[in-house]
């Protein structure tokens, strides 16, 4: 299945989908050394975003979150790609400096994406490919 989206970051990333309907703050919400969500109030608490196609509505919190995304990439624990309902500047800047493929405004709502299924985000083509 192919879903069209707006490509923001460059490149292609493949991994298992990790889907949440809750916004995510990278500063204080994700451990930059491990890639594990540490925000006690977040539904993904305790789960790793490393190597996953991370789908969430939008970021929240401090602009330092952009640098946390960069740190995740430097530590080898960044998401393989990001899908947002609406990418704002914190996530867009972080994905760009970290080299993480990013798309937003998918034709299919994020809540309808199947968690745990392999997906490929092609930010250059503006496509999300799910499954085989």
Annotated catalytic residues are 62
SS3 letters across 11-68: CEEEEEEEECCCCECCCCCECCCCCEECCCCCCCCCCECCCCEEEECCECCCCCHHHH
Length of the chain, in residues: 132
Residues with Cβ within 8 Å of 71's Cβ and at least 6 positions away in sequence, in order, are: 32
């Amino acid at each position: 299945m192919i879903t069209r989206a707006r490509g923001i970051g460059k490149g292609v990333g493949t991994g298992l989908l990790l889907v949440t309907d809750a916004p995510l703050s990278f500063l204080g919400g994700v451990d930059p050394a491990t890639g594990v969500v540490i925000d006690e109030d977040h539904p993904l608490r305790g789960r790793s975003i490393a190597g996953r196609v991370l789908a969430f509505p939008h970021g929240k919190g401090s602009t330092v979150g952009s640098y946390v995304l960069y740190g995740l990439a430097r530590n080898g624990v960044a998401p393989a790609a990001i899908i947002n309902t609406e990418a704002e500047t914190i996530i867009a800047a972080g994905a760009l400096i970290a080299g993480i493929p990013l798309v937003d405004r998918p034709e299919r709502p994020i809540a309808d994406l199947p968690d745990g299924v392999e997906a490929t985000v092609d930010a250059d083509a503006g496509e999300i490919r799910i499954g085989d």
